[in-house]
Chains A and B, each alone.
Chain A
Amino acid sequence: MSTTPTLDRSIIERQELHAQRTGRAVVAGAFSPRQLWQALPGAVRKLGPRAQLRNPVMFVVWVGSVLVTGLSVADPSLFAWLIAAWLWFTVLFANLAETVAEGRGKAQADTLRRTRTETVARRLRADGSEEAVPGTALRIGDRVVVEAGEVVPGDGDIVEGIATVDESAITGESAPVIRESGGDRSAVTGGATVLSDRIVVQVTTKPGESFVDRMIALVEGAQRQKTPNEIALTILLSTLTIIFLLTVVALQPMAGYSGAQQSLVVLTALLVCLIPTTIGALLSAIGIAGMDRLVQRNVLATSGRAVEAAGDVDTLLLDKTGTITFGNRQATELLPAEGVSLAELAAAARLSSLADPTPEGRSIIELCARAHELPAEATAGEAAAQFVPFTAQTRMSGLDLNGCRIRKGAASAVAGWVDEADGGLPRGLQDKVDRISREGGTPLVVAEKNGAEQNGDGGRVLGLIRLSDVVKPGMATRFAELRAMGIRTVMITGDNPLTAKAIAAEAGVDDHLAEATPEDKMALIRREQSGGRLVAMTGDGTNDAPALAQADVGVAMNTGTAAAKEAGNMVDLDSDPTKLIDIVEIGKQLLITRGALTTFSVANDLAKYFAILPAMFMVLHPSLGALNIMRLATPQSAILSAVIFNALIIVALIPLALRGVRYRPTTAARLLRRNLLVYGLGGVLTPFAGIFLIDLLVRLIPGI
């Protein structure tokens, strides 16, 4: 990937900014109780049967609510009315969870929609003349002209020209980016503003189907389809519901035989308490919130399926440049020549780079400042020096100070400058130069000449600066975490095998692919997948498109080509390849949240039995009072307390469903132990306390 240094610098800064913004753990937006109030009208609107049919568990609750309401009208009693009311609350709270989640998605969508302001496009006719058409009239293949100050009317590729573009409306990133025709940076997104120059854009999407349009539909939940795992879980929850339905249906003849016929109100209350309402109510909210967490990180997924697949990823393919290493080379070592002290070399190296504005030059200053405690800025005396900039002819840069000339540059150039007649380096040094080159680094030679130029004195070679790829700090720990999570990391690089191996070892990746061509990449993905493993990768170029399409999770960079974005199933608006790791964590967190709340929901049933069964049959078999271990006041208060707990726990868990269960990368065994303890054991114990406390209040109601 060839990039200009300034652009790279901005990517690094953005990555650092991103890391600061998000911290290490997966987090999501804050949840405030006010959102519940705002969602209330929407939740009430969903109380109709049509909205409930989509969710089998909540549909049973809905039918139960209707039934008990009817029974309360037919045979009014305070108890029946209270049960009816709380059953309706149960349905309402489930609606509330979904509405809150959707509301958060809508807020995201509104932000995105603001970029969809109506624009007038300057369409090019076949003869080259322009016509003004509304942006919505553009079709695929149309070519439009966009000049400085104008808004790009739709997604497309630049086919002519180069321009700086402000994409802040879409990405929130204020630094303008450069887009040019040809190559991998030709894509522009509708809604971006061109800041300079003139470009011709070929439209690649139909109006209403642009990238942002699709994302809006997705985050609003309009196109939300159940993901495979959600469907499987729904089947299991439905099965549990059927089992409990049978349990309650069979209970009536058993109770009748025993001489304690139960009222339909009580049986319905028991059924609603037993079926997995907690997870049934929160299931869709969890899915929407997972999507939402991605959007908050400026990642747009084309389907919920992709988010789920992210949690399952076994192999991560990571591009070396920009992902594992900084995008440019940095000074990592000073190697003095024979008879030169390290301090002397450091001083010269620093001087030679004082006026070098490139990242490489700056990295030399930083190295000298860090390792040799030399000032990072030019002193007043040094500022008076005459700087010699790098030119393609000399292939050196440096400065002249008080008659001392210091240069640094490519080995052959500096050698020639030092001794024009000889043209060689001392043998020891030449070996080191060769070694650094072999290892994939770039050697720079530093030399000095004392006295005036015309003296014709041979100069002195002081030593070497090694420039090499620097692995971003923290990457090794990150990969170790991924390994603990069971994810294999493979570094992809165009470097030669030796360099690739050295960097792979330093970064701590599990494997690497050197001198990688797009075909190699594709073959690697296929090989991994043939072993049943799921592969995630990032890419931005058109030649990445086939691999992005083949990968199970393909994250296209927003700076990439339209082809790449079309092929992947996610787009990162920040174009930050490291985010792939976050995406995997979000996918995992989504699945964990689902599993944890399911476990919690099922584990809750035990306490409810201990509340309701003695209440039902204590009159018949006083000995069953021994099961009333919570010492609930009366049969009616016990049943009502269980129903109230069952409803309130939904509201109590909405924040958790939206935020997601806390996730730290670790082994599956540890995760399981922790979550089983918290949500399994916690799920058994919590309702005992909850129902007991609610009963303390409920028993105060006269007549209960």
Chain B
Amino acid sequence: MSPTVAGLVQVSALLLVLVAVYVPFGNYLAHVYTSDKHWRVERALYRLVRVDPGTEQRWTVYAAGVLGFSFLSIVLLYLLQRLQPLLPFDFGRAAVEPSVAFNTAISFVTNTNWQSYVPETTLGHSVQMAGLTVQNFVSAAVGMAVAVALVRGFARSGTDRLGNFWVDLVRGTVRVLLPISFAAAILLVGLGAVMSLRAGVDVTGVDGRQSTLALAPAASQEVIKMLGTNGGGIFNANSGHPFENPNGASNLLEYLLVLVIPVSLTRAFGVMVGNPRQGHVLAAVMGVIWGSLLSVAWWAETHPNGTATLAAGAALEGKEVRLGIPSSVLFGMATTGTSTGGVDSMHDSYTGLGGGVLLLNMLLGEVTPGGVGTGLYNILVLAVIAVFLAGLMVGRTPEYLGKKLGRVQITAAAIAILAMPAVVLLGAGAALAQPGELDAALNNDGPHGLSEVLYAYASTANNNGSAFAGLTVTSDFFQSTLGLAMLFGRFVPILAVLALAGSLAAQKRVEPGVGSLPTHGPMFGVLVGGTVVLVAALTFFPALALGPIAEALK
């Protein structure tokens, strides 16, 4: 089978599975967040943390829950890393350095999973399992909770209650993430992924040299790393490592896990607002943009223009030969389009155009289809902007799903879309204005070096976490600015989104008639898709022109 055919088969398989699970899984997600029954294990948890699952919260209380929980998580994760020598399975590894521990704590709590350390040599299994893996679950559940709160804002009418954050957090973890992770981890082990509590295994290489191959409970963490759109590898090579991602089948399973929740959440949204077509159109927008970018990246990687790559016939540098180009591109598209940030190939080695597409995937604001929860609330915010712009053109105060978009809603939506570009542009601008820092950090100069810096800030601000590589980010400047980028990129939009949700829930819901802008047809899809692309294009065109575009046109 030629690589192209193999790639097409994978795309078909991906589509087939997504289409098959979309309706039942989306409906299940909607049920999870609307059911008024509590599981026994959930009740026990609520009793343990003294939460009354029956009370609902205002948006301010909900937001305080999100912030408080995240802050506490950062502190705990920081302490775990600092106290590593006291924990079992530390394999004699030292306490993690403060700057790295700080950056890593923020990174995993914000669902970014940007890694400025080498896992095999820095972290033992305790920190991995009790710290990072736990955050892989709960940070994803937080993202879904915020998205669900926003959906409730649209679905509810004349109330100041958005639901209970603790209930949403627990249900997302217990009813969605844990069961799928459990099943998929067993599947992944079956496909050959490693699951071991040993530090490593000593081997003799073909050249006769002794070396130690690090081992880890990889399969279980790999699954939630993908399913929760986290992306932080248990090995430094991330999903390029055969112990995390042994073959083509596991590769397919992994990017399938990445896409399944973000895509199905659109269905849950449609069901919860009482009109599934409202969700379908958003899924279609995500799919069309993602599909178009995939084609460009695929074409770019198979039609390289560098001297060396031309001689090789394809851009295989930085890609695993056992996976090949289409699988690598599919994986890269899935993880950059979802704020996962896991990699099975080095994005730095992609062609100018191919790497630019991966970068653009993030600069679109992580909406194709975006991270778990974050993708849905980000595209809903962009839809609010689109409705406001175009809604006026039908001669009414713009309204989306029966809710009027006025001063409060637009302010909240504006803050939510402003955060990411502000962080990316200011961060990258500040970094590029310091030749001293760059000399030490950058492997490349020219447009490619600019892409590397831009990618780093795009990745952290969007809570993606993938690295373009080629940029050494261990200096205090990068550790701190990238850490701040993750914090602002995560929590400013979350606060704005919850404020938006609160203001929407308080409004009475008017059933839309023929006089209001239809928000479920192809027309609306074009509108939202156009807004997504236009906002990103207008904001980042100059930066992209000096980076990937200049590189691609060379």
Contacts and interface: CB of A to CB of B under 8 A. Distances in A.
A314 B406 contact: no
A256 B409 CA distance: 38
Nearest to B543: A254
A672 B432 contact: no
Nearest to B552: A623
Interface stretch (B209-217, B364-372, B419-427): B419-427
A676 B527 contact: yes
B428 interface: yes
A254 B446 CA distance: 10
B542 A588 contact: no
A689 interface: no
A243 B539 contact: yes
Contact of B425 (A249, A257, A531, A672): A249
Interface stretch (B23-31, B249-257, B383-391): B383-391
Given A239-B418, A617-B546, A588 B509 contact: no
Given A312-B396, A598-B389, A672-B394, A609 B541 contact: yes
Nearest to A274: B538
Interface in B421-441: 421-422, 425-426, 428-430, 432-433, 435, 438
Contact of B418 (A242, A257, A606): A242
B410 A621 contact: no
B450 A532 contact: no
B50 interface: no
A231 B411 CA distance: 10
A10 interface: no
Contacts of B388: 232-233, 236
A141 interface: no
B508 A617 contact: no
A239 B395 CA distance: 23
Contacts of B16: none
A592 B393 contact: yes
A253 B392 contact: no
B514 A485 contact: yes
A671 B394 contact: yes
Contacts of A308: 397
Interface in A222-258: 228-229, 231-233, 235-236, 238-239, 242-244, 246-258
A387 B516 CA distance: 60
B447 interface: yes
Nearest to B453: A257
A264 interface: no
A591 interface: yes
Interface stretch (B75-83, B165-173, B468-476, B517-525): B517-525
Question: What is the size category of the interface that chain B forms with chain A?
Answer: 35 or more
Contact of B432 (A256, A592, A617, A673): A256
Contacts of A667: 514-515
Contacts of A605: 538
B44 interface: no
B513 interface: yes
A675 interface: yes
Given A257-B450, A621-B553, A623-B550, A235 B425 contact: no
B541 A232 contact: no
B543 A531 contact: no
A669 B395 contact: no
A594 B428 CA distance: 35
Contact of B390 (A314, A484, A676): A676
A668 interface: yes
A236 B542 contact: no
B394 A617 contact: no
A239 B414 contact: yes
A100 interface: no
Contacts of B385: 236
A522 interface: no
B545 A229 contact: no
A258 B442 CA distance: 14
Where chain A touches its partner, the secondary structure class is helix
B397 A239 contact: no
A311 B395 contact: yes
Given A239-B417, A246-B426, A613-B545, A486 B515 contact: yes
Contacts of A531: 508, 510
B407 interface: yes
Interface in A437-477: none
Q: Which of A254, A312, A675 has the most CB of B within 10 A?
A: A254
Question: What is the size category of the interface that chain A forms with chain B?
Answer: 35 or more
Nearest to B549: A624
B380 to A, nearest CB: 16
Given A242-B418, A254-B546, A231 B407 contact: yes
B37 interface: no
Q: Which of A231, A532, A620, A624 has the most CB of B within 10 A?
A: A532
Interface string B299-310: 000000000000
Contacts of A620: 550
Contact of B438 (A248, A257, A606): A257
A258 B538 contact: no
Nearest to B514: A486
A251 B418 contact: no
Q: Which of B391, B397, B517 has the most CB of A within 10 A?
A: B397
Contacts of A676: 390, 393, 523, 526-527
A533 interface: yes
B40 interface: no
A242 B433 CA distance: 20
Q: Which of A250, A626, A668, A669 has the most CB of B within 10 A?
A: A250
B414 A236 contact: yes
B404 to A, nearest CB: 8
A585 to B, nearest CB: 8
Contacts of B402: 532
B523 A250 contact: no
Given A232-B410, A595-B391, A256 B553 contact: no
Interface in A619-666: 620-621, 623-624, 626-627, 663
A624 B548 CA distance: 11
Contacts of B550: 258, 617, 620-621, 623-624
A312 B398 CA distance: 9
Nearest to A584: B395
Contacts of A253: 429-430, 432-433
A176 B510 CA distance: 45
A602 interface: yes
A679 interface: yes
A672 B390 contact: yes
Nearest to A230: B407
A250 B516 contact: no
Contacts of B450: 254, 257-258
A671 B394 CA distance: 6
Interface in B448-476: 449-450
A330 interface: no
Contact of A256 (B393, B397, B433, B540): B433
Interface string A673-688: 1011001100000000
A671 B393 contact: yes
A589 B429 CA distance: 43
Contacts of A594: 392
A483 to B, nearest CB: 8
A254 B452 CA distance: 12
Contacts of B510: 314, 531-533
B543 A250 contact: yes
B534 interface: yes
Interface string A291-333: 0000000000000000010011010000000000000000000
Nearest to A308: B397
A668 B514 contact: yes
Interchain residue pairs A-B with the least CB separation, the first 6: A486-B515, A595-B392, A588-B395, A250-B429, A532-B510, A250-B425
10 contacts: A236-B389, A247-B421, A253-B433, A254-B546, A258-B446, A668-B396, A668-B515, A669-B518, A672-B517, A680-B390
Given A587-B395, A668-B517, 5 more contacts: A228-B406, A257-B450, A258-B550, A595-B391, A598-B389
